[in-house]
Chain A
């Protein structure tokens, strides 16, 4: 059971998070709090034209939220705005069981979280932060 949720891949992203840190002068800087547990995350991104040229994150949280944030940065780097939006919507659909996880991607490791409704918010926190950041960018 323990191993089903806490896979090697999740633990690897948790212990060695990719793209952790701040970005100076970002196009997106979005801070989000998980009101359930007080965990917090800040997502930074810069665009080169329409492409996400860099994504980073800081914050503290559980293994699921940190690993998911790390995977998100890898997934969204290099995408266009439209692709990023699609990725985020797709990920959220996976987390509520409405879409299949891609088998060849690290994201598949988060499959186990779906069975734990209280932890889904942990997994989606960074993705929602990125999405909010893009929405605010549109609005400004």
Chain B
């Protein structure tokens, strides 16, 4: 049985007050809070093991290296990656996708080639490809988002073809909560001889994950959205593809042999890890993954599914509210709008009740245009949120409506 109160006790920040109100943290799609276990792992690393990794021949360097490489194996297992050589630590999803767009894209894309993305992409899986397209002459094509928030898969079948070199898709939408059929897109991509990249920033924290089953060639996610520290993320790629790619950043550690006029590259994954890495953060992410495994991702998903359903029902009761995205099969986040109240005003008024939500374009300006708006309010849930907190949100939204209505 999933005991949410026991989970909450592991998150010290959930005890804090905002003014005289107890914090209700519903901005988890932006970043999650961290359990004591992660904070302690960071503290222990810096207090007892801190050293630079791989090159030192002293005790601390060996301990630090073991902690860092241990974290790599934990994260690889968590994502279902069969080969830890394909697990590259980055700064986050954005850097992971940029790595592919530069190191794979610039080498392999040519004029006439196409990269197929969707209208629902976060800017992090759009702008790197715009830059790669500009540098290579390749073209970007977009799978449309239907009225109900789902991808138009018939259009996807038409768009993905012989010109397609890569298909990129956000796994779970950070605005709509839609879980996209990336397995099917991967099939279509592979039938066309293209590669498949999955942006897992909003799925890895919330769904049981297996990159092999997804069938993708690249999978990117961020540590800080899944209980880990900021500054660490992951690119999980097929080693045989990563081998053929050019390096991304040049410098220390990523080399085998350096001459004044040329160099050769280190083995995977080190070829893509130039300079001193985010060692402590990676160790912290390892601890986060341990924590998630302890809870069980099936249980986390079930908790969020139930909470999301409850939230959808409670918010639907509010007069005049618009809820974006599908009704069923969604992750635990809800984007919404109230008539005549701007999302910024909603989040400001909720803040005064201690409730943290996000408002704005959520780094998805093209999707906002598709939805016919410039901004939405978004409440996003995680494994420590409760029905009681959903009630506080719903009740506060009714007061926001009344407050703005009073000035009509």
Chain A residues near B (Cβ < 8 Å): 1-2, 5-6, 8, 11-12, 14-15, 36-40, 60-64, 116, 119, 122
Q: Out of A15, A38, A61, A122, which one reaches B407, CB within 8 Å? A: A15
Inter-subunit contact A38/B345 (CB<8 Å): no
> From residue A26, how far is it (CB to closest CB) to chain B in Å?
23
Inter-subunit contact B374/A8 (CB<8 Å): no
Inter-subunit contact B360/A38 (CB<8 Å): yes
Shortest Cβ distance from A60 into B: residue:
B374
Within 8 Å CB of A1, what residues of B? 19, 352
Complex Cα–Cα for A62 and B359 (A): 11
Complex Cα–Cα for A36 and B368 (A): 14
Within 8 Å CB of A5, what residues of B? 348
Tell whether B46 is near chain A: CB-to-CB under 8 Å.
Answer: no
The 8 A-B residue pairs with the shortest CB-CB distance, nearest first, are A62-B344, A62-B342, A11-B407, A38-B361, A38-B374, A37-B360, A1-B352, A63-B345
> From residue A82, how far is it (CB to closest CB) to chain B in Å?
33
> From residue B99, how far is it (CB to closest CB) to chain A in Å?
25
Complex Cα–Cα for A39 and B359 (A): 11
Within 8 Å CB of A14, what residues of B? 407
Within 8 Å CB of B361, what residues of A? 37-38
Q: Out of B344, B349, B407, which one reaches A37, CB within 8 Å? A: B344
Shortest Cβ distance from A12 into B: residue:
B407
Inter-subunit contact A2/B352 (CB<8 Å): yes
Complex Cα–Cα for A93 and B404 (A): 29
Please list 15 pairs of residues, one from A and one from B, whose beta carbons are closer than 8 Å in the complex, sorted by A's number: A1-B352, A2-B352, A6-B349, A8-B407, A12-B407, A14-B407, A37-B359, A37-B361, A38-B368, A39-B342, A39-B344, A39-B374, A62-B342, A119-B344, A119-B348
Q: Out of A36, A60, A62, which one reaches B345, CB within 8 Å? A: A62
Inter-subunit contact B342/A63 (CB<8 Å): yes
What 0/1 pattern do residues 356 to 369 of B give for CB contact below 8 A with A? 00011100010010
Say yes or no: A122-B344 contact (C-beta < 8 A), given A11-B407, A37-B361.
Answer: yes
What 0/1 pattern do residues 162 to 180 of B give for CB contact below 8 A with A? 0000000000000000000
Shortest Cβ distance from B20 into A: residue:
A1
Within 8 Å CB of A64, what residues of B? 344-345
Complex Cα–Cα for A6 and B403 (A): 9
Tell whether B375 is near chain A: CB-to-CB under 8 Å.
Answer: yes
Residue in B342, B368, B408 whose Cβ sees the most chain A Cβ within 10 Å: B342
Within 8 Å CB of A6, what residues of B? 345, 349, 403
Residue in B19, B352, B368 whose Cβ sees the most chain A Cβ within 10 Å: B352
Complex Cα–Cα for A64 and B342 (A): 10
Inter-subunit contact A2/B349 (CB<8 Å): yes
> From residue B206, how far is it (CB to closest CB) to chain A in Å?
26
Residue in A5, A62, A119 whose Cβ sees the most chain B Cβ within 10 Å: A62
Inter-subunit contact B403/A37 (CB<8 Å): no
> From residue A68, how far is it (CB to closest CB) to chain B in Å?
13
Say yes or no: A36-B360 contact (C-beta < 8 A), given A2-B403, A63-B345.
Answer: yes
Shortest Cβ distance from B374 into A: residue:
A38
Complex Cα–Cα for A21 and B361 (A): 25
Complex Cα–Cα for A36 and B349 (A): 18
Complex Cα–Cα for A63 and B361 (A): 17
Inter-subunit contact B352/A39 (CB<8 Å): no
Complex Cα–Cα for A122 and B359 (A): 13
Complex Cα–Cα for A89 and B388 (A): 47
> From residue A119, how far is it (CB to closest CB) to chain B in Å?
7
Complex Cα–Cα for A46 and B395 (A): 47
What 0/1 pattern do residues 331 to 360 of B give for CB contact below 8 A with A? 000000000001111001100100000011
Instruction: Given contact pairs A37-B343, A61-B342, enumerate 9 new A-B contacts (beta carbons under 8 Å).
Output: A2-B349, A6-B349, A14-B407, A15-B407, A36-B360, A38-B361, A38-B375, A39-B344, A60-B374
Within 8 Å CB of B345, what residues of A? 6, 62-64
